Structure 1
Amino acid sequence: MKITAADVVVTSPGRNFVTLRITTEDGLTGLGDATLNGRELAVEAYLREHVAPLLLGRDAHAIEDTWQYLYRGAYWRRGPVTMAAVAAVDTALWDIKGKAAGMPVYQLLGGACRTGALAYGHASGRDIPELLDSVRAHLADGFRAVRIQSGIPGLDSVYGVAASAAGEGERYDYEPARRTRAAHPRPTEETWDTRAYLRHMPTVFEAVRHTFGPELPLLHDGHHRMTPIQAARLGKDLEPYDLFWLEDATPGEDQRALRLIREHTTTPLAIGEVFNSVHDYTTLLQERLIDYVRSAVTHTGGITAVRKLLDMAAVHGVKSGMHGPTDISPVGMAAALHLDLAVHNFGIQEYMRHAPETLEVFRTSYRFEDGLLHPGDAPGLGVELDDEAASRFPYEPAYLPVNRLRDGTVHDW
């Protein structure tokens, strides 16, 4: 079954998304997510100019060979742009294979290991009372686990905290890249104070635990903003509140830094949403320095690569916790859900609900019921792209914010 076309669609229904659509001689189509927040056009060009011409005439069923061809066949390997492009091709080919077989992708991966994937939502507030209201709203929506993010006294804004914890935007797309219509857009700049953050967060979790009890799984994202010793302190300070995980406590480039954190706290650790290769995890897995891998299918080479990563993690007793923000399209989300259902070492799935206009463009079959996500049983991934709807939302430049300390020093994201 030969590939006859590989088209790239860029659309912005609430956020910018890059989608690859592969078409075969039999008329089957498959979708792959190639979105790289703030660098979307770089991946579009990589796909359109370099990858798409290589796909024409190839066997659409040869998923593993195509993955190796695009990864090993290019001198320049890895990196977020390359791996997002490879991921889009790989995911689209799995979509086609599922449609050709008349089966959902998770069945091709070995079948379901569970009835659904436990999902966590994003609860936040500018202060503790607002945060508690947000947790209540998420529980009312059916979530069984929540991520806890709070404003910090003395800071005007904190990334990951909704402008209004009770508003509709909080439960859809409240971590957007900031849009601007300037000719040369620049990211918004936010001010950060790590010491204030470290003082405040234990009081936040004390309030949440006091209000909602010991059973509710609670997660927290450090957004890479701590040094290893600061992260060790926070992990130890949060031990009484029994976190499901502390995420991205420190930048992941120096994997040895996790040794220090691990020595000082029993709080479970998750990392990897900015990683894009199994090689980024080698030390972390072999030395059991983390408990959950956070890579997304969209940014880590596709279903083929992430399945291998999770198999490697399983050998070392590490579970999945795949990245699931709204800058991953419903195509990427669906791909994650098929893996969630099929792998034995599933842990939890991040779930931010896409905005209604996003779901006009991407027609999905996955569902969220009683705190669990399921990819659905439509053949392939179960997501279709509406071209007419996509054409109504042209690309708009947008960036995530930049972080600075009070003295103006650029700080870790």
Structure 2
Amino acid sequence: MNIVKAEVVVTSPDRNFVTLKLTTEEGFTGLGDATLNGRELAVVSYLQDHVAPLLIGKDASRIEDTWQFFYRSAYWRRGPVTMAAIAAVDMALWDIKGKAAGMPVYQLLGGASRQGLLAYGHASGSDIPELFDSIRKHLELGFRAVRVQTGVPGLNAIYGIASQSKETGGGEARYDHEPARRGAQPVQEDWDTRSYLRHLPRVFEAVRNEFGPEIPLLHDGHHRMTPIQAAQLGKNLEPYDLFWLEDCTPAENQESLKLVRQHTTTPLAIGEIFNTAWDFKDLIRDQLFDYVRGAVTHMGGITALKKTLDYAAMYQIKSGMHGPTDISPVGMAAAMHLGLAIHNFGIQEYMQHGDRTNQVFEQSFTWQDGLLHPGDKPGLGVSLNIDEAGKYPYQQAYLPFNRLADGTVHDW
């Protein structure tokens, strides 16, 4: 089952996506997601110029060996560009293996461990009434769990507030409900941690008073706090029983999470910007967090992330795989198959893609009663409509960045 063709497809229906398509001599095709938000063309070059030529003639059934070859043979290991490229190859090979076997990928991973995947949506508002409206909308869409992001008094534009888009009546449009914006320069947003720390507990108090104690609530700190600030926030949010506080402080400084852990029992989710099991290794061993936020697309694919999650399971740490719309439907499908199979599934992030994206990537997954299921088509269950993809060429886009009031660049 040798590979005879390796194609890299770049398309921008609602945002930019990078897809690897492999074809075997028997006619089986496999898709892999290689999207790296805001740096997409770096991965395109890595795939086209360095990886694709080495795939021709390789046996598509040798998934583990191929993974090890691309990780070890380049010598320069790790990093988001390398691991996104390897992830695309890995997903495509699992897709091919599933099609050759006539089975969905989750069956090849050991079969289903549950009926479906609990997913959370992104509710946000520039103020509390707008936030309440967004939460109600997500509940109407069937979500059983909701991430809560809100504006902060005195700050004009901050991470996670989808209501700033034209779709809801204000400001500059964000495409596909995410902050990356098309243009030649990134957009500047503003930040003040002390204002945020004062305001956020009041927000969660209001949400609990309005929606009750049962609904799982999540919040993303997006790496913007120092360790002691993160500890303070986690402690102040304890009365509101969060499902998790995500990326409360930059976790590259892994010692910092010891301080956070000592001061709060609020569950922690870490690692959406991590790329390998080595980034998680010590944090898992020391039990410094509760949910692995790695993405199949950025962690080297199904093969690599499953190993990380199997290690995490030894310490009762669960999955919380990254899944906003900068993960293509191919990457989302891979996450669903993996999440359905592993025992230590926690929750799946789920942002619904736009109509144009869904026309480019035809999907078999289902969304019912707050649960996702990847479907039972052989492979990953996603097909790429090349004609539709060709209608939407790449457009330059960047994520925003933060400055403090004095002009200092801050973590976004």
TM class by shorter chain equals over 0.9
Partner of 2:180: 177
* 1:173-322 alignment runs, 5 A limit: 173-180=176-183, 185-322=184-321
Question: 1:44 aligns to what?
Answer: 44
Q: Is the 8 A contact 1:367 1:373 kept in 2?
A: yes
Residue 364 (structure 1) aligns with: 363
Letter in 2 for 1:327: D
Counterpart position of 2:110: 110
Measured after TM superposition, the shift of residue 112 of structure 1 is 0.1
- Matched length: 409
CA distance in 1, matches of 2:257, 2:179: 29
Taking only aligned residues, the RMSD between alpha carbons, in angstroms, comes to 1.4
Amino acid at match of 1:2: N
Letter in 2 for 1:211: E
What secondary structure does 1:261 align onto?
Answer: helix
- For residues 279 and 217 of structure 1, the distance between their equivalents in structure 2, rounded to whole angstroms, comes to 30
Could you tell me how far apart the structure 1 residues matched to 2:7 and 2:76 are? 23
Asked if structure 1 preserves the Cα contact closer than 8 Å seen for 2:126 and 2:161, the reply is yes
1:71 match: 71
CA deviation profile, 1:123-171 (whole Å, cap 9, x unmatched)? 0000001001110110011000000000000011111102259957999
Counterpart AA for 1:176? P
Contact 1:2 1:60 in 2 (8 A): yes
What SS does the corresponding residue of 2:135 show, helix, strand or coil? helix
Could you tell me how far apart the structure 1 residues matched to 2:166 and 2:247 are? Answer: 26
Distance in 2 (CA, whole Å) between partners of 1:167 and 1:140 is: 18
In 2, Cα distance between the equivalents of 1:162 and 1:349? 19
Partners of 1:19 and 1:272 in 2: CA distance: 23
1:152-163 equivalences under 5 Å are 152-163=152-163
The ranges of structure 1 where at least 4 consecutive aligned residues each deviate by more than 3 angstroms after the TM superposition are 164-172
d(CA) in 1 for partners of 2:317 and 2:165? 33
Displacement after TM superposition at 1:176 (Å): 3.5
CA distance 1:102–1:172, change in 2 (3 Å): farther
Q: 1:171 & 1:378 partners in 2: Cα distance?
A: 33
Kindly state the Cα deviation for residue 173 of structure 1 after the two structures are TM-superposed: 2.5
Matched residue SS, 1:42: helix
The AA in structure 2 aligned to 1:179 is R
Superposed CA offset, 1:171-206 (max 9, x none): 9932131112xxxx1100111000000000000000
Corresponding position: 1:34 with 2:40: no
Instruction: Kindly indicate whether the alpha-carbon contact (under 8 Å) linking 1:159 and 1:175 is maintained by their aligned counterparts in 2.
Output: no
- Which residue in 2 is equivalent to 1:136? 136
Instruction: Give, as a single letter, the amino acid of the residue that structure 1 aligns with 2:311.
Output: M
Distance in 2, matches of 1:162 and 1:305, equals 32
Q: Is the 8 A contact 1:171 1:353 kept in 2?
A: no
| Conservation of the 8 A alpha-carbon contact between 2:14 and 2:175 | no
- Specify the SS of the correspondent of 1:299: coil
Structure 1 CA distance, aligned partners of 2:352 and 2:145? 15
In 1, the alpha carbon distance for the partners of 2:94 and 2:41 equals 24
Identity %: 71
SS at match of 2:139: helix
Do the aligned residues in 2 keep the contact of 1:248 with 1:271 (CA within 8 Å)? yes
Counterpart CA distance in 1 for 2:373 and 2:177 is: 23
**Alignment partner, residue 3 of structure 1:** 3
Equivalent residue of 2:163, what SS?
coil
The equivalent residue for 1:24 is: 24
Supply the AA of the counterpart residue of 1:354: H
Provide the C-alpha distance between the structure 2 equivalents of 1:178 and 1:138, rounded to a whole number of angstroms: 24
**Superimposed CA distance per residue, residues 203-238 of structure 1 (whole angstroms, 9 cap, x where no aligned partner):** 000000000100000000001000000000000000
Query: What does 1:89-100 correspond to in 2, within 5 Å?
Result: 89-100=89-100
Cα distance between partner residues in 1 of 2:22 and 2:205: 50
- Closer/same/farther in 2, CA of residues 172 and 189 from structure 1, 3 Å limit: closer
Q: Equivalent residue for 2:407?
A: 408
Q: How far apart, CA to CA, are the structure 2 residues paired with 1:246 and 1:394?
A: 37
Q: CA deviation at 1:72?
A: 1.1
The CA distance in 1 between the partners of 2:358 and 2:178, in whole Å, is 17
> Is the aligned partner of 1:342 residue 2:345?
no
Unaligned regions of 5+ residues in structure 1, if any?
Answer: none
Partner Cα separation in structure 2 for residue 172 and residue 192 of structure 1 = 22
| 8 Å Cα contact 2:159/2:179 also seen in 1 | no
Structure 2: state its 5+ residue gaps: none
Tell me the TM-score normalised to structure 2 length: 0.98
Indicate if the aligned counterparts of 2:160 and 2:179 stay in contact, CA closer than 8 A. Answer: no
1:330 counterpart = 2:342: no
